[in-house]
Amino acid sequence: MAPNTDIGLIGLAVMGKNLVLNMVDHGFSVSVYNRSPAKTEEFLKDHGESGALQGFTTIQEFVQSLKRPRKIMIMIKAGAPVDEMIASLLPFLEEGDILIDGGNSYYLDSERRYVDLKKEGILFVGIGVSGGEEGARKGPSIMPGGNIDAWPAIAPIFQSIAAQVDGRPCCSWIGTGGAGHFVKAVHNGIEYGDIQLICETYEILKTRLNLSLEQIGNIFFEWNQTDLNSYLIGAAAAVLIAKDENGNAIASTILDVAGQKGTGRWVAEDAIKAGVPMSLIIESVLARYLSTWKEVRTKAAQEFPGIPLLCQPPQEASAFIEDVREALYAAKIISYAQGFMLLKQVSQDKGWDLNLGELALIWRGGCIIQSAFLDKIHQGFENSPEAHSLILQDYFKKVLFDSETGFRRAVLHAIGSGVAIPCLSSALSFYDGYRTVDSSLFLVQGLRDYFGAHGYERRDCPRGEFYHTDWLETKKTFRV
């Protein structure tokens, strides 16, 4: 068979199938392969084999069907299966061919594959794809990184199938090595924080105002017409309002045990390694772990019924609802600020030179964290590219200043009512810590020097000079 298709895709699970159909809709011919031939046959039966869509049962025939340079996208489970698939493809590839991993791979695995395949003359690209099943079919947010020599050949495909906002594709080149997959992981970490903040907001409104699922859903719907407009707020409203065929709230049947696939944990670990205080994302991951202890929590609720409320119920519901909205928006700003701090730090460490404003544009459509808010982030980085974080950019500075009182009132009500708000309280603590000139952490360093002779810097000496005190005997201090 003469090579005649534009791109090949391996892995016909939901994401893979929908990406194939998206590509075909945009005029590209696609070869497909799945480890299970039955899945390939079923897919072709449902969507028809033609010049634009061809299926194969062997890897060799699949590879031979592709135009050169061959472009192969792998959409399978991350980890060892990706390495095994790459190994099975290599005997049939030639120098200049392109391998694209579109799964949720860990970015350090992508870094390794980029280096290893470069030695073989193969161009590796790790692509983050966000938007889930619907995004893959109708237009996802796409974050490609790896060997930039591959970009001219694959850009027309991926920029065509990506979501479009204001005439711009939500897809542009991210950087070398594992940059694409790292940016996608941070996107997922921010998503974790967004979701947890929405959940905590729901809990405050339910507990303090005794509102129903539908009432809170309607509040979220109203908020979605404000600066909080986002895919997730809209989705939360839809979930809370939805009723089954008997008119009962579907959300009331969902067990409060939250799952996760691991990308949030990866980002939390990467933040700690990079020395970035990404407290909201870390707390959101821990909240999901705690949710899995359902039986333990049920027993603890019986053992610790709580104390009487420490604050009076809000006198005016509408004013309190506005306080909670301000708290959610302020915490969201802080969460995104932390995410972009991590992106900036790792970009510097890896030499990626990430364009942070461009990332905000890529996320405006097709992905789970898409929101109007991202335009503000893009503008912030355009206007203040050297600012340490979003918090110090003019628009976000003003929002935090204007919403601080409502933010604090909402958190006080939650704490006084015994409502767990790990992310909202963490956001407020980060905000207060970020603007503290003289913190109590001098005592940490004093204690470290006391029991471990680790030394400390002095307020009256240049940074980088360290001193040690003989705390137990002479109390004398000397430079080390």
In three-state form (DSSP H/G/I as H, E/B as E, the rest C), the secondary structure along the chain is CCCCECEEEECCCHHHHHHHHHHHHCCCCEEEECCCHHHHHHHHHHHCCCCCEEEECCHHHHHHCECCCCEEEECCCCCHHHHHHHHHHHHHCCCCCEEEECCCCCHHHHHHHHHHHHHCCCEEEEEEEECHHHHHHHCCEEEEEECHHHHHHHHHHHHHHCCEECCEECECCCECCCHHHHHHHHHHHHHHHHHHHHHHHHHHHHHHHCCCHHHHHHHHHHHCCCCCCEHHHHHHHHHHHCECCCCCEHHHHCCCCCCCCCHHHHHHHHHHHHCCCCHHHHHHHHHHHHHCCHHHHHHHHHHCCCCCCCCCCCCCHHHHHHHHHHHHHHHHHHHHHHHHHHHHHHHHHHCCCCCHHHHHHHCCCCCCCCECHHHHHHHHHHHCCCCCCHHHCHHHHHHHHHHHHHHHHHHHHHHHCCCCCHHHHHHHHHHHHHCCCCCCCHHHHHHHHHHHCCCECCCCCCCCCCEEECCCCCCCEEEC
User: Is 454 annotated as belonging to a binding site?
Assistant: yes
User: Is 229 annotated as belonging to a binding site?
Assistant: no
User: Is 459 annotated as belonging to a binding site?
Assistant: no
Of 184, 283, 326, 376, the active-site residue reads: 184
User: Is 11 annotated as belonging to a binding site?
Assistant: yes
User: Is 291 annotated as belonging to a binding site?
Assistant: no
Measuring CA to CA, which residue among 73, 145, 75, 82 is closest to residue 111?
145
User: Is 104 annotated as belonging to a binding site?
Assistant: yes
User: Is 131 annotated as belonging to a binding site?
Assistant: yes
User: Is 265 annotated as belonging to a binding site?
Assistant: no
Q: The sheet that has 53-56: what strands, in order across it?
A: 53-56, 30-33, 7-10, 71-74, 98-101, 123-130, 141-146
The neighbour count for residue 60, using CB atoms within 10 Å, is: 12
User: Is 14 annotated as belonging to a binding site?
Assistant: yes
CA 230, 232, 236, 239: dihedral to nearest 10 degrees?
Answer: 120
User: Is 22 annotated as belonging to a binding site?
Assistant: no
Instruction: Report the C-alpha gap between 201 and 332 in whole angstroms.
Output: 12
Report which residue type is found at 373: F
Instruction: Report the C-alpha gap between 149 and 199 in whole angstroms.
Output: 43
User: Is 15 annotated as belonging to a binding site?
Assistant: yes
- Please, which residues bridge with residue 217 across strands? none
User: Is 448 annotated as belonging to a binding site?
Assistant: yes
User: Is 76 annotated as belonging to a binding site?
Assistant: yes
User: Is 103 annotated as belonging to a binding site?
Assistant: no
Is 191 assigned a catalytic role? Answer: yes
User: Is 35 annotated as belonging to a binding site?
Assistant: yes
Of 17, 71, 191, 200, the active-site residue reads: 191
User: Is 192 annotated as belonging to a binding site?
Assistant: yes
User: Is 380 annotated as belonging to a binding site?
Assistant: no
Binding site, residues? 11-16, 34-36, 76-78, 104, 130-132, 187-188, 192, 261, 288, 448, 454
Binding site for NADP(+), residues? 11-16, 34-36, 76-78, 104
Binding site for substrate, residues? 104, 130-132, 187-188, 192, 261, 288, 448, 454
User: Which residues are designated catalytic?
Assistant: 184, 191
